[in-house]
C-alpha cells in the first residue's frame, strides 16, 4: 500500500495505464497536426481525434459532431456561459444558476454581472439539491440560460437533471450542466435529460489533465455560441487552436473505459464508500453526513466530526490525502461555501472531511483510512474539554464562558 492513501478523486485521478498506452504513439510517431489536410501525418491525427470524439459522444448519448474539445472543464464552463450570453444577448440578459456551483461557473457569472447581465443564484436544500420547480419559478421572459451542475464536487449530491432539463425544454431556455463529476460515474444521456450544453473533463475519469470537452446540441434546438478563442476556426469555429491530439486520444480511451466499466466499478466503489461510513459511525458518535444520503456520487463521502479542530484533524492524518471543508484564503481559514449553503454551521464545516474514492482505491486502503480517522478523532476528542462537557450532558449554548 502506497502512503499517503489517495482519497481525493474529486480533485483529480491518476491516468489509467490503458489510457497512457493509447496516448503514447501520438507524442512521437503519429505527431501530425489534425488540421493538416495535405498529408498522411495530418490525416492519421485527424482520424484519431474523430475516434475519440465518437468514444466521448457515446458516453453521454450525443453525436460526434456535438463534441467540442477544450483545455479543461473550466474553459468548457466559460465557453458555455459566456458563449450563450454573448450570442443571445438580444433575446435577454438573465441567467439562472445555483449557489453551490464550481467556481468556474460562479466566477464566470460574477464577471457577466459586471457587464450588465442579471444572475439568479438559486438556493439549494439541506442536501444540496436544486428542484425543477425552483428553476421553473425563476425563469422569466428574459432568461437565456439555466446552468445547474449534475453532481457537486464537495458533497457529491446529484441533482434531478432530467426534470430540470424538461422544464427548460418546456420554457424554451437553453440548459447547461457542469457534469464533470457525474460523467463516467453515473447515467448521463443528453437526449433523455434535455441537456443542451454539457461540460466534462478527462482528468476526473482517469484520463490526462488539460483536455476536456463541451457538448453543444446541434438540433432541437441548434445551440449557437460566440467563440472565446479566435484564430483558425477549429472545432466548428467555436474553439480555435491546434488540437491536443495525444490528450484527446487519452480522453477518448478514458471515456470508453468509463462507459464499459461504469456499472461494475460504481458498485464496487460505492460498497467501499459505504463500508467506510459504517465503520466511522460504528466507532464514533457525533459524526454527520453532508450531502444526500442516496442521491450522491458512489465515490463521495463528506463527513463532519463534531468537537475536533479541523486543522488538527488534517494534521493528525497525514497518511491520508483527503480534502477538508475549509479553504485557505489569504489570511484566514474560510469554511466551504458549499457546506455553508446547505446549512452546515461554521464550526462543523471546519471539521468536515471529503473522502473521494475511485478506480484504484482498495479495500486495504479503506480499512487503513477508517482506522486512521477513527483513532485521530478519538485522540483529539480526548483532549477536548468541549467534548467532555457535551458528554456530561452540559448544554454548551447555556454556558456563560466569560464568567460574568
Residue 180 in contact with ligand PLP, rule: CB under 6 A: yes
Q: Closer to ligand PLP at the Cβ: 32 or 156?
A: 156
What is the side-by-side order of every strand in the sheet holding 94-98?
Answer: 67-70, 212-216, 197-201, 174-178, 143-147, 94-98, 118-122
Among 178-186, 245-253, 330-338, 382-390, the segment contacting ligand PLP (CB under 6 A): 178-186
Q: Whole-number minimum distance, CB 182 to ligand PLP, in Å?
A: 9
Residue 104 in contact with ligand PLP, rule: CB under 6 A: yes
Residue 296 in contact with ligand PLP, rule: CB under 6 A: no
Q: Whole-number minimum distance, CB 13 to ligand PLP, in Å?
A: 10
Residue 300 in contact with ligand PLP, rule: CB under 6 A: no
- Rounded Cα distance between 111 and 389, Å, is 48
Residue 323 in contact with ligand PLP, rule: CB under 6 A: no
b/e per residue, 203-241, with b = 16+ CB within 10 A?
Answer: bbbbbbbebbbbbbbeeeeebebebebeeeebbeebbee
Q: Closer to ligand PLP at the Cβ: 143 or 147?
A: 147
Among 27-35, 177-185, 273-281, 331-339, the segment contacting ligand PLP (CB under 6 A): 177-185
List binders of ligand PLP among 148-167 (CB under 6 A): 149, 153
- Rounded Cα distance between 148 and 179, Å, is 9
Q: Closer to ligand PLP at the Cβ: 70 or 352?
A: 70
For 266, the 3-state DSSP assignment is: helix
Residue 212 in contact with ligand PLP, rule: CB under 6 A: yes
Cβ neighbour number for residue 311 with a 10 Å cutoff: 13
> In this structure, are strands 326-328 and 323-324 parallel, antiparallel, or unpaired?
unpaired
* Rg of the chain (C-alpha set): 23
Residue 178 in contact with ligand PLP, rule: CB under 6 A: yes
Q: Whole-number minimum distance, CB 352 to ligand PLP, in Å?
A: 17
The single residue among 44, 55, 57, 74 that binds ligand PLP, judged by CB under 6 A, is 74
Residue 197's contacts (CB-CB under 8 Å, 6 or more residues apart) are 80, 84, 174, 175, 176, 177, 214, 215, 216, 217, 223
- Rounded Cα distance between 200 and 179, Å, is 6
Q: Closer to ligand PLP at the Cβ: 73 or 249?
A: 73
Q: Which residues are catalytic?
A: 328
Q: Whole-number minimum distance, CB 252 to ligand PLP, in Å?
A: 16
Burial of 95 by CB count in 10 Å (0-12 exposed, 13-18 middle, 19+ buried)? buried
Q: Closer to ligand PLP at the Cβ: 147 or 326?
A: 147
The single residue among 53, 82, 94, 102 that binds ligand PLP, judged by CB under 6 A, is 102
Closest C-alpha to 327, from 317, 318, 337: 337
Residues forming contacts to ligand PLP in the complex (CB under 6 A) are: 72-74, 102, 104, 149, 153, 178, 180-181, 201, 204, 212
Amino acid at each position: 500500500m502506497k502512503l499517503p492513501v489517495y482519497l481525493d478523486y474529486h480533485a483529480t485521478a491518476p491516468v489509467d495505464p490503458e489510457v497512457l498506452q493509447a496516448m503514447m504513439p501520438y507524442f512521437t510517431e503519429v505527431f501530425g497536426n489534425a488540421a493538416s489536410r495535405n498529408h498522411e501525418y495530418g490525416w492519421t491525427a485527424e482520424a484519431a481525434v474523430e475516434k475519440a470524439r465518437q468514444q466521448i459522444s457515446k458516453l453521454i448519448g450525443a453525436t460526434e459532431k456535438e463534441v467540442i474539445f477544450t483545455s479543461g472543464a473550466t474553459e468548457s464552463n466559460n465557453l458555455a456561459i459566456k458563449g450563450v450570453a454573448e450570442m443571445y444577448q438580444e433575446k435577454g440578459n438573465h441567467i439562472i444558476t445555483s449557489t453551490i456551483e464550481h467556481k468556474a461557473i460562479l466566477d464566470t457569472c460574477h464577471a457577466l454581472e459586471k457587464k450588465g447581465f442579471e444572475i439568479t443564484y438559486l438556493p439549494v436544500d439541506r442536501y444540496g439539491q436544486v428542484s425543477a420547480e425552483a428553476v421553473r419559478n425563476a425563469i422569466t421572459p428574459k432568461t437565456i440560460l439555466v446552468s445547474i451542475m449534475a453532481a457537486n464536487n464537495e458533497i457529491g449530491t446529484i441533482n434531478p437533471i432530467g426534470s430540470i432539463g424538461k422544464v427548460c425544454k418546456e420554457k424554451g431556455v437553453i440548459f447547461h450542466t457542469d457534469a464533470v463529476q457525474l460523467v463516467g460515474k453515473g447515467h448521463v444521456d443528453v437526449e433523455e435529460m434535455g441537456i443542451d450544453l454539457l461540460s466534462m473533463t478527462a482528468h476526473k475519469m482517469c484520463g490526462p489533465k488539460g483536455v476536456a470537452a463541451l457538448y453543444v446540441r446541434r438540433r432541437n434546438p441548434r445551440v449557437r455560441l460566440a467563440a472565446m478563442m479566435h484564430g483558425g476556426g477549429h472545432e466548428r469555429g467555436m474553439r480555435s487552436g491546434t488540437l491536443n491530439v495525444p490528450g484527446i486520444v487519452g480522453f477518448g480511451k478514458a471515456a470508453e473505459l468509463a462507459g464499459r466499466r461504469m456499472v461494475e466499478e460504481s458498485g464496487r466503489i460505492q460498497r467501499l464508500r459505504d463500508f467506510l461510513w459504517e465503520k466511522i459511525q460504528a466507532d464514533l458518535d457525533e459524526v454527520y453526513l453532508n450531502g444526500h444520503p442516496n442521491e450522491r456520487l458512489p465515490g463521495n463521502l463528506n463527513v463532519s466530526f463534531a468537537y475536533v479542530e479541523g486543522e488538527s484533524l488534517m494534521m493528525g492524518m497525514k497518511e491520508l490525502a483527503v480534502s477538508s471543508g475549509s479553504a485557505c484564503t489569504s489570511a484566514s481559514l474560510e469554511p466551504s461555501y458549499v457546506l455553508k449553503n446547505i446549512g452546515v454551521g461554521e464550526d462543523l464545516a471546519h471539521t468536515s472531511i471529503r473522502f473521494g474514492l475511485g478506480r484504484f482505491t482498495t479495500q486495504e486502503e479503506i480499512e487503513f483510512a477508517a482506522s486512521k480517522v477513527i483513532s485521530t478523532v478519538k485522540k483529539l476528542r480526548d483532549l477536548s474539554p468541549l467534548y467532555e462537557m457535551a458528554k456530561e450532558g452540559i448544554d454548551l449554548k447555556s454556558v456563560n464562558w466569560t464568567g460574568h
